[in-house]
């Protein structure tokens, strides 16, 4: 195990090692050895580190601790300490064994063998795709457009100020309409003039006024956004997403309303929201006229830099990867019925993510902005 971590295995030894970790009995024995060597206590690695990335990609999986607090981003713009999604550091032994110490979620994979291993060996990366970043395009009803990726911190227009990762809007420069668009490969935080905080996911558009003057504070969403609303009974906050009209009743909630997804999903983390005749409580999700109980924190894993997949099919996984890495996903042949579960860091390069999920029998060619999935 230590030779693997230190890149000291020959190709033959590496093959033998993977045979071992594919056997549940041997995997259990390796874990016991790791604990005796105290690897788990002393060699914890952040996945962002190059070494951890390499090991992670080779092993094809990692997971998160199950009993951490639900995912809520920090307050960011005003500097106050907010709730954070806190993902456990992955111990070297856990990476090697492909499991989470202490139980919990597991990125489910099987080490391929025989013909499948041969096909995966044919997977090709011609040009890699990098992960997304903070940035958006702001368009005002006055006709002015601002590219936030390159805009410097400070006042970029009357009533609009950029501060590191966030865009802050104030109501002291008249009333105008604005559209904030995050292209594929970008995310953006926005603080509206009423103090409501919005995190906009990749490939999303939010239309909003610079100041809320009417009986409602109304915004329109296409894509996905997480809202932390400043409650005001006299002027309710309303999100229009597709056919759904979501009214805040003192709320933190996520709305997934991408045009290429089957339906709009609204997930409540805190407070209450009303959608038509339905009222949601924390931990509930509304979709197509039905309410279900979910782990609400998983819905905003993206805010804290993670993909979360739960019983997800190949197409839904690839839609999410396509938006974040700004790639055109194409398919050749009949796709399988694999289901994916687990969390993956959005800071990984696309080639690393593909290598992680290749253990599920995914065959691909990646050439910059074109990703071809083959049967």
Least confident range from 55-59, 196-200, 353-357: namely 55-59
Range in 174-178, 257-261, 314-318, 326-330 the model is least confident about: 174-178
∠ CA 305-128-99 to the nearest 5 degrees?
Answer: 50
DSSP 3-state of 186: strand
Contact between 170 and 159 under an 8 Å Cβ cutoff? The reply is yes
Looking at the chain, how many residues does it have?
375
- What's the pLDDT at 100? 29
Q: Identify the burial level of 322 via C-beta atoms within 10 angstroms of its C-beta, where 0-12 means exposed, 13-18 middle and 19 or more buried.
A: buried
* This prediction's pTM: 0.74
pLDDT at position 360: 77
Cα(349)–Cα(28) distance, integer angstroms: 31
Name the more confident of 23 and 71: 23
- Predicted confidence (pLDDT) per residue in 209-235, tens digit: 999 998 999 999 999 999 999 999 999
| pLDDT of amino acid 34 | 52
- pLDDT at position 245, please? 97
Instruction: For the chain, list the domains and their CATH numbers.
Output: 2-129+302-374 (3.55.50.30), 133-301 (2.60.120.1440)
List residues bridging with 164 in a β-sheet: none
42-46, 141-145, 227-231: lowest mean pLDDT where?
Answer: 42-46
Q: Is the pLDDT at 303 greater than 50, yes or no?
A: yes
Residue 112 clears pLDDT 70, i.e. is over it: no
CA angle 309, 118, 6 (to 5 degrees): 70
- Alpha-helical (H) ranges within the chain are 2-5, 11-21, 24-37, 39-42, 50-59, 92-97, 114-121, 314-325, 350-357
Between the two ends of the chain, the Cα-to-Cα distance in Å is: 33
**What is the spatial distance between Cα 368 and Cα 259, in angstroms, rounded to a whole number?**
24
User: What are the backbone angles phi and psi of residue 114, rounded to the nearest 5°?
Assistant: 60, -130
Q: How confident is the model at residue 369 (pLDDT cuts 50, 70, 90)?
A: very high
Give me the mean pLDDT over the 224-251 stretch: 95
Locate 353 and state its tokens: 């993510």
* Mean pLDDT, range 143-150, rounded to an integer: 93
Pairing of strands 186-191, 166-169: parallel
Return the higher-pLDDT residue of 258 and 337. Answer: 258
pLDDT in tens, 153-166: 999 998 999 998 89
Mean pLDDT of 77-91: 33
Residue 344 has pLDDT above 70, yes or no: yes
DSSP 54-93: HHHHHHT-----TTSPPP----GGG--------PPPEEHH
The confidence band for 86, taking pLDDT boundaries of 50, 70 and 90, is: very low
Q: Judge contact between 178 and 136, C-beta under 8 A.
A: no
d(CA 212, CA 353): 42
Measured CA to CA, the distance from residue 300 to residue 165 in angstroms comes to 17
Least reliable range by pLDDT among 29-43, 141-155, 200-214, 351-365: 29-43
């Amino acid at each position: 195990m230590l030779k693997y971590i230190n890149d000291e295995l020959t190709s033959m030894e590496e093959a033998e090692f993977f045979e071992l970790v594919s056997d549940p009995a041997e995997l259990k024995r390796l874990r016991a050895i790791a604990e005796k060597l105290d690897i788990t206590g002393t060699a914890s690695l952040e996945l962002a580190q190059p070494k951890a990335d390499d090991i992670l990609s080779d092993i094809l999986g990692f997971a998160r601790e199950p009993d951490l607090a639900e995912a809520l981003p920090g307050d960011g713009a005003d500097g106050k300490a907010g709730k954070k999604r806190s993902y456990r550091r992955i111990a070297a032994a856990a990476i090697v064994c492909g499991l989470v110490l202490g139980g919990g979620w597991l990125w489910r994979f099987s080490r391929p063998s025989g013909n499948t291993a041969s096909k995966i060996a044919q997977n090709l990366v011609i040009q890699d795709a990098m992960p997304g970043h903070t940035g958006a395009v702001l368009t005002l009803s006055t006709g002015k457009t601002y590219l936030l990726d390159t805009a410097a911190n400070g006042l970029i227009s009357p009533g609009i100020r950029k501060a590191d990762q966030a865009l802050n809007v104030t109501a002291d420069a008249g009333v105008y309409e604005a559209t904030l668009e995050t292209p594929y490969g970008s995310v953006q935080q926005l603080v509206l003039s009423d103090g409501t905080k919005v995190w906009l996911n990749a490939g999303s558009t939010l239309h909003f006024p610079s100041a809320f003057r009417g009986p409602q504070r109304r915004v329109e969403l296409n894509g996905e956004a997480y809202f932390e609303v400043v409650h005001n009974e006299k002027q309710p906050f309303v999100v229009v997403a597709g056919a759904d009209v979501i009214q805040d009743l003192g709320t933190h909630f996520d709305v997934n309303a991408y045009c290429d997804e089957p339906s709009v999903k609204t997930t409540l983390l805190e407070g209450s929201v009303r959608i038509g005749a339905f009222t949601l409580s924390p931990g509930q999700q509304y979709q197509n006229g039905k309410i279900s109980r979910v782990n609400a924190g998983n819905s905003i894993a993206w805010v804290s830099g993670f993909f979360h997949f739960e019983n997800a099919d190949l197409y839904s996984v690839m839609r999410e990867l396509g938006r974040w890495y700004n790639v055109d996903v194409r398919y050749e042949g009949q796709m399988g019925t694999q289901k994916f579960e687990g969390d993956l860091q959005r800071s990984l390069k696309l080639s690393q993510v593909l290598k992680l999920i290749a253990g599920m029998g995914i065959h691909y060619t990646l050439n910059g902005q074109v990703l071809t999935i083959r049967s």
